[in-house]
Structure 1
């Protein structure tokens, strides 16, 4: 009889422990799930905010270059230099103004349909240099009237990672040339470096080919980073 009582007592004890522990385990799992979901939501919101901040900074940064090239493309002097060679000096001065107005602008130039090139800062070009055969010129022609951005590349003169922004110059609806400015991508790197992601996180930008174009660590620029990513 005592054995039965002891057995029943043991069973009741185990049952009570089970009844007590199971809710605690379920509560723990539920708490973990809630904490995980909350953390995930916070990280998601933080990531979206960081992306939006970068996008706004990039829009602001490149907006000034677009304003400049739009202004020059509508300037009568840039339209008329194709017909009047004597305007070359004045066009050169205006390109110089663009170059000096912003440290990120490494060069400003116009190529004309007659294959003439006016470039600031003045640089010696090959005798057979043909601006109309260059990618920046062709891209501008294909996108007539719109601003075009090149893929990032290493500048042959400075060794810096740059992009070229170009746009056609038109007279009475006909293309007479194309304007272009070379922009150093250091601006983007500075923007990314100023944005913190958690304790040790950082942002970087890769182009459509998977090449890093902006990174807080300059050693990572121009690397095909996307191939090393787990995604």
Structure 2
């Protein structure tokens, strides 16, 4: 399968601090926002590399509290020798640790990668399951990781919310909510169907490179005139 890439850096559960919460933009503005994001990047791609649904799953598990660049540096050599759960099991936990030693929490992550590989082999014939419930019982896989896999590997219109998307959604705002789960539910209910498949990609890239946490780059923002954030930069 051709190598693909997707930004899927996930983080700990997020709870918003007490901040101003303007009313979310209306439906027409929402369509215009995503139309502009699509025009700027018709085929959004990010930095977390993978080869197939299994390597996507492993990469996203490894990306928690780590950078995409750091994960890619480790998974390139790892996936060259183990791009399926059977091969990962053959490597074993100790060798997997050696490949991912530069990634934070590598001991726990190596254990999870081997354990989830065993479950895939023993219970799913080596295939990655296509349901949220079956994915979330795998070691190291939470709701966000499962949503990324369903969206990217299987084309389901899920919007996994990480720190970047959480910030952007509340800042514009598209959705005003205090937790990632509520932001995801709000976005999946509100984002129009033509944009829903790639919404995760557009928002995470927008939050990473334009609507940055400490100093959003408002002068080059394609939706600055539509955004209601009161503290725009000049």
Pair member with larger Rg: 1
Q: Same fold (TM over 0.5)?
A: no
TM-score calculated relative to the size of structure 1: 0.28
Higher relative contact order (CA 8 A, sep 6+): 2
Structure 1 or 2: larger strand share? 1
